[in-house]
Amino acid sequence: MNLEIPKTAYNGRIKEIRLGKGDKAVTVGGETCYPFYLFEGKMPNLPRIAMEVWDTSPEDWPEAALEPFQGVTGDPVAWARKCVTDFGAEMICLQLVSTDPNGLDRGADEAAAVVKNVAEAITVPLIVWGTANHDKDTEVLRKVAEVNEGRNLILGPVEEGDYKKIGAAAIGYQHTVIASTPIDINLAKQLNILLGNLGVRDELLIIDPTVSSIGYGIEYCYSVMERVRTAALTQQDNKLQYPLICNVAKEVWKTKEAKPPADGALTLGDTRKRGILLEAMSAMVLLLGGGDVLIMRHPEAIRLVQEMITELAAPKNN
Amino acid sequence: MPLTGIEIFKLLPKTNCGRCGEPTCLAFAMKLAAAKAELAACPDISDEVRAKLEEAAAPPIKLVTIGAGNRAFKIGGETVMFRHEKRFENPPGFALLIRDSMDESEISARLERFNQLEYKRVELTLRPELVAVKDESGDRARFEATVSKVKENTDASIILMSPSPDILAAGLKVCAERKPLLYAATRDNLEPVASLARQNSCPVVAKASTLDELARLTTQLTDSGVNDIILDSGARSLRQALEDQILIRSTALSKRFRPLGFPTIVFPGEMTDDPMKEAVIASIFVAKYSGIIVLSDFQGESLFPLLVERMNIYTDPQRPLAITEGIYPVGNPDENSPVLITTNFSLTYFIVSAEIETSKVPSHLLVKDTQGLSVLTAWAGGRFVADTIAPFVKKCGISEMVKHHKLIIPGYTAIESGSLEEELPGWQIMVGPREGAHIPAYLKTWQP
Ligand code: B12
Ligand code: SF4
């Protein structure tokens, strides 16, 4: 028997999209193979990591996650600057946590002004993430789109319940749309079709499959992402041939496993390292599922994942 | 490829003698094809045909048992590249590395960690399986002593690692009944290591530096009568190692290439010196196809996430993990504590009970059997509706445990509240929030 290497029958390609503007704009997508199957195809643009910034002081972050950002967590502009200058962030994701109607319920104008200040303070691409409350996101993200006209922000989550108005604003003011559906390949495809019909151009759309962390159903996300990639790359499903974005950090750090154990159990090891590893490993699983953009928090977790990306794509020396 | 009923029929004696318990050879062939009969039931099958049928029926990736006793486990037997195609079958084992050159105290500390690091998650116990003992001293006695120490202090399955067949033999002598995995048979020591494996019926790792060479090695091993083989492709760069894991599996599955139809072993600790990085590398190989993952150390902060990841990835997508129906106390609830109801999908239970814990309001959590479906899925499938919830609430015994009769239902099932009040006379139905994350805020306003 001779060793004969099988080849996946690819017939599709992920669309390339350009996030942000100017020198620091970032291109993602373009893959012609499964994630890191570089013996079969190409990943012309390696996955990128956006660093998370909150628009308000986080109340419930574990110590380990707060520590790197000490002194700036009350000021989104300073925080974003620190991510770029101290940690080399290639992108920023501003989470508009303060607009949550179940929380601070800050208004659209105020939120849009904060986004503008942050956008002006950095040159890297800016992702803006709402609270997944349809009415509030419609109000806030439309305003954000308008006030930041022409910057090519990446706006989300845009869901079936609010895609028309937010989508229209994104088209009108030239921003990229994050099409978000709850862990379901059919729903993802459907929303992409709807957004396409609305007039969102292919190069301005990125899919959010909805993700979770290790221990909280990550297997569903992993499999849905793999199915999206299979359909896109081997079944010519052009409505799924978009890059994937994973808002993973906030899912990880809210879990009890990322915090000091309530019963003080020693078997869980070092709390800081465990939080970092939960974030890095969750991100890694999502990368293997097909993630193109990861929204992450801890600089150490980011470094680890970046090193994985580099090594998985390193030139072969044998 | 598995044979069809007709293909099998062609190989049978065609006498319809009935001794297999089936009226005809054809009927027997059909049962065989559907794996509902055993080949041995037909007394008239020739050895040649038997070999042919067995070969065709063998799984494309061999199922190999590692170890013996308490922590014995099986790896291999995989049938798909992606878990959504069916499921992943046998989770990889995690091995703790012990070098025989380590201090006594370091070895003891490691063995203690091996024994202590286990975790309860819902109704499962997560723990590692193996200790790998590596000869670095080149000293038989030292290796032997280290192996005995591992054997005496743990119930671990054991991997014996040495380039020298003599040293492997010394280790084997101490722990043969644990059926240790021998690491490794290479081009240079194939015959002596193979004969150790044969004499002790132990599995053995074949180690090469290319897939071609690996295939040649396993062919030699199987020709010499060793069939329980684990593959080490030799790659120690992350990119090459991942590629090898993928290609070994795809070659075995789609080309039915027997020489690579075995589970694999990987060594993340030989790809980096940074323990954090090592853990993340290991997480890649949990998802991508490894059979055994050897770690240079075990620490709670990295082992725990890896064990949970492994449990997640190896969950059957068609059969979600479920927990037993019943009343679960969270905190120390009493007769005035709130009563909440949810489904028995372990993830749902896990999230909801964690949120209740966060709220610090002790509660009774009723868990209804929905065959492991989440709230909305169970509701959509008719398993978590008034008609099924009411009888459960009545018979579970909660009525006698609380003075108030208020039941909090998930926000997503608000629509059931009317019918529930009708079917549960005397109970007041309260609609809780939709998202688990909003439970703490909700419970803080609880009044009996
Ligand atoms: C995975 C999945 C499946 C898996 C099953 C997994 C499982 N174990 O349940 C499979 C593939 C088997 C499946 C099947 C079906 N599914 Co389905 N499935 C999903 C999916 C993607 C995720 C569900 C999940 O795991 N959620 C996570 C758990 C933790 O959430 P949860 O149980 O609701 O718990 C949360 C809250 O409810 C709350 N909570 C829970 N308990 C309590 C208790 C109290 C007191 C309170 C206050 C709060 C609370 O806290 C939790 C955390 O927020 C959802 C879509 C989605 N993303 O929601 C669709 C979804 C639930 N499925 C749906 C449907 C229709 C079905 C099917 C009927 C048909 C189909 N489309 O496939 C079948 C039915 C199965 C059957 N045989 O009966 C629909 C339901 C639509 C509706 N509104 O009725 C959904 C929403 C998808 C959709 N949009 O179409 N599904
Ligand atoms: S015992 Fe064998 S020969 Fe006889 S009927 Fe069954 S299959 Fe045919």
Among B276, B290, B319, B343, the residue to mutate for chain A (most A Cβ within 10 A): B276
Domains contained in chain B, CATH given:
5-57 (1.10.15.40), 64-313 (3.20.20.20), 326-443 (3.40.50.11600)
Query: Which chain A residues are closer than 8 Å to B350 by Cβ?
Result: 215-216
Nearest-CA residue for atom 62 of ligand 1: B377
Q: Tell me which residue has tokens 């010196």.
A: B273
Residue of the nearest CA to atom 15 in ligand 1? B377
Residue pair B204/B185 in contact (Cβ under 8 Å)? The answer is yes
pTM, entire model: 0.92
Distance from the first to the final alpha carbon of chain A: 24
Cα of A91 vs centre of ligand 2, distance in Å, is 70
Tokens of A12: 């599709």
pLDDT of residue B320: 85
Structural domains of chain A, with CATH = 17-313 (3.20.20.20)
Average pLDDT rounded to a whole number, residues A206-233: 97
A chain contacts of residue B246, beta-carbon cutoff 8 Å = 37
Residues in chain B with pLDDT values less than 70: 1-2
Q: Which of B346, B376, B430 to mutate to test the pocket of ligand 1 (most atoms within 8 A of CB)?
A: B376
Question: Distance, CA B380 to ligand 1 centroid (Å)?
Answer: 8
Helix/strand/coil for A80: helix
Residues of B in contact with A254 (CB under 8 A): 437
From B193's Cα to the closest Cα of chain A, the distance in A is: 24
Q: How far apart are CA A53 and CA A72, in angstroms?
A: 10
Chain A residues inside the 8 Å CB shell of B254: 6
Percent share of chain A, pLDDT over 90:
95
Residue pair B8/B50 in contact by the 8 Å Cβ criterion: no
Contact A256, A55 (CB under 8 A): no
State yes or no: pLDDT of A262 exceeds 90: no
Report which bound ligand comes closest to the CA of B8. 2
Residue A103 banded pLDDT, cuts 50, 70, 90: confident
ipTM of the complex model: 0.94
CB of A36 less than 8 A from some CB of B: yes
Contact predicate B159/B130, CB 8 Å: yes
pLDDT more than 70, % of chain A: 99
The model's pLDDT over A169-178, given as tens digits with 9 standing for 90+, comes to 999 999 999 9
Q: Which residue, among B219, B215, B173, has the nearest Cα to B196 in the 3D structure? A: B173
The verdict on A101 touching B (C-beta cutoff 8 Å) is: no
Q: What is the distance between the alpha carbons of residues A53 and A48, in angstroms, rounded to a whole number?
A: 16
Q: Is the CB of A182 under 6 A from ligand 1?
A: yes
Residues B415, B417, B421, CA angle at the centre, nearest 5°?
Answer: 150
Please tell me if residue A108 touches chain B, with a CB cutoff of 8 Å.
no
Whether the Cβ atoms of residue A240 and residue A201 lie closer than 8 Å to each other: no
pLDDT in tens, A124-148: 999 999 999 999 999 999 999 999 9
Pocket-forming residues, ligand 2, beta carbon under 6 Å: B 12-13, 15-20, 22, 25, 28, 42, 44
Ligand found nearest the CA of B347: 1
Contacts of B243 in chain A (CB under 8 A): 37-39
A317 contacts B283? CB cut-off 8 A: no
Helix axes A134-147, A163-172, angle to 10 degrees: 0
Contact of A211 with A191, CB cutoff 8 Å: no
Measured in Å, residue B27 CA sits from the centre of ligand 2 at 9
Looking at residue A144, its pLDDT comes to: 98
Taking an 8 Å cut-off on Cβ atoms, the answer to whether B283 and A285 are in contact is yes
Residue type for position A170: A
Rounded-to-integer distance, Cα A293 and Cα A207, Å: 10
- Secondary structure E strands in chain A: 17-19, 26-28, 48-54, 92-95, 126-129, 154-158, 176-180, 205-208, 245-247, 293-296
Helix (H) or strand (E) holding B273: none
Residue A128 sits at the chain B interface (C-beta within 8 Å): no
Cα(B119)–Cα(B308) distance, integer angstroms: 9
Interface-testing mutation among A97, A183, A234, A267, with chain B (most B C-beta atoms within 10 A): A267
Distances (CA, A) of A88 to A78, B128, B229: 14, 37, 46
Average pLDDT over residues A66-87: 98
Structural contact between residues A93 and A51, judged by C-beta atoms closer than 8 angstroms: yes
- Binned at pLDDT 50, 70 and 90, residue A1 comes out as low
Kindly determine whether residue B215 and residue A37, on different chains, have CB atoms separated by under 8 Å: no
The confidence score (pLDDT) of residue B1 equals 55
- B299 part of contact set with chain A, CB < 8 Å: yes
From chain B, pick out residues whose CB is under 8 angstroms from the CB of A36. 239, 242
Residue A125 token pair = 């691409």
* Antiparallel, parallel or unpaired: β B363-368 and B326-330: antiparallel
- Per-residue DSSP letters for B111-171? HHHHHH--EEETTEEE---EEEEE--S--HHHHHHHHHHHHHH---EEEEE-S-HHHHHHH
pLDDT band at A79 (very low <50, low <70, confident <90, very high): very high
If one counts every other C-beta atom within 10 angstroms of the C-beta of residue A286, the result is 26
pLDDT at residue B50, as a whole number:
86
Among B372, B369, B365, CA closest to B346:
B372
Give yes or no for A161 touching B (CB within 8 A). Answer: no
DSSP three-state, residue A229 = helix
Q: How far is the CA of A133 from the centre of ligand 1 (A)?
A: 19
pLDDT score of A263: 78
Q: What is the CA radius of gyration of chain B?
A: 27
Distance CA B290, CA B284 (A): 9
Element (H, E) at B24: none
**Using an 8 Å Cβ cutoff, are B265 and B295 in contact?**
no
